[in-house]
Amino acid sequence: MLTTVTASPSHARAVLPFARAVGAAGHDVVVACPPDLASAFDGAPVTVAPVLVPMSEAAARFVPRIEALGDDPDPAAVVARVFAGEHLVDEVRALRELGPVDLVLRDGGEFAGMLRAEELGVPHLPAPSGAAHVLDPLHVGPLLTACRTELGLPAPADAHALAPYGRLDCMPAAFSFAPSWLPDAFAYRQDDEVDRDGRRLSEWVAALPAGRRLVVASLGTALPMMASSGRSAPGGPPVDPAAGLRALVAAANEVDAEVVVATGGLACEVEPAPHVHLERWVPQPLLLQVADAMVTHGGYNTVREAVRHGVPMVAFPQFGDQFASAGRIAALGLGRRTDGSSLAADLTAVLDDGSVRDRARAAQRAMLALPPVTAFVERTESLVRA
């Protein structure tokens, strides 16, 4: 099986449980990714080939084309070009060097793997992906058609079908975040220990007052990456990576709860109150097992982890697909969406609202009724046999 991943560590984490399950079952798995994501697969029974273009490089390559779209380009068109632009042609050529495969598992925002699967005539499946929820086939389809022409590939029966063999997800159907253009999913239970690194809670977390409510807060991995690279997210206005953290800590200072904030290494200019604890990194799935609420940027991995543990959310989106996920969190009754100005009030409301907690628990029970990720192995074998 060939697994293809792009963009950020969160995309790698989305495919890791599936790739690991197939490798552990004795099948050969090759992971093609940018060099900066290779370490995400350390310890997994896979072979890593760091042959894909980093997303920052792909975005930089298309700056002139994006500027040509005018002063107010359609964000959906910009994002589509970054994920599905002509850089895919070189990536498909790089994937050819890895040899033939029987199946392709791709990050939902990665399309070189899809084109390589078409070239080989083998099935391909997108992994759970927030990016896939906002990559409109009306924008992506023509770009992929241009890449197919360059590669000498025939056009598929439906050029707008981005998941003709189905797709993977880790959300139950009743709580789906997927848009109408995506097919129903082969759904599996969210892995609650993706990293398998033996982490445990810090002793100071274990010693927090038992009578106090506990909130986990994180704005994800992409903002720290933007800060270190000096780049902003494509398809939207410039994002100040530290601004969201400042707003988050300022709001947490006003909330009657212990709040553990994962900073991702971003410097925070707001002095935290004694009940607000800043950490560079936290074992998030583990901490969610004892949390009363989660403040999240709306990254799809975090959403699924919160649902896995029945934790209500306050979504504070920063860019990209996070806004769509935040809207679904509110629409499904799993929490609230905030713009930051009312974050303290929204978090307090979610902590105090038993109906939101009940809804989060209902989603958790529905997720726990799904088969484990290891059952994906049987799905891959049946697809290959077919």
> So what's the pLDDT on residue 7?
81
Element (H, E) at 278: strand 276-279
Please write the tens of the pLDDT for every residue from 121-150: 999 999 999 999 999 999 999 999 999 999
> So what's the pLDDT on residue 97?
98
Element (H, E) at 3: strand 2-4
**In sequence order, which residues have a C-beta less than 8 Å from that of residue 286 and are 6 or more positions away?**
199, 200, 201
| Interatomic CA distance for residues 30 and 33, integer angstroms | 10
> So what's the pLDDT on residue 223?
76
**Domains of the chain listed by start with CATH number:** 2-189+371-385 (3.40.50.2000), 203-368 (3.40.50.2000)
From residue 62, alpha-carbon distances to 130, 169, 307 in Å are: 22, 30, 36
- Tokens standing for 108? 């939902």
**Of 363, 352, 201, the residue nearest 288 (C-alpha):** 201
Number of H helices, E strands in the chain: 16, 13
> So what's the pLDDT on residue 234?
56
Regions of the chain where pLDDT drops below 70: 58-73, 226-238
**Crossing angle, helix 137-151 and helix 75-84, to 10 degrees?**
30
| Interatomic CA distance for residues 257 and 350, integer angstroms | 12
Tell me the pairing of strands 276-279 and 124-126: unpaired
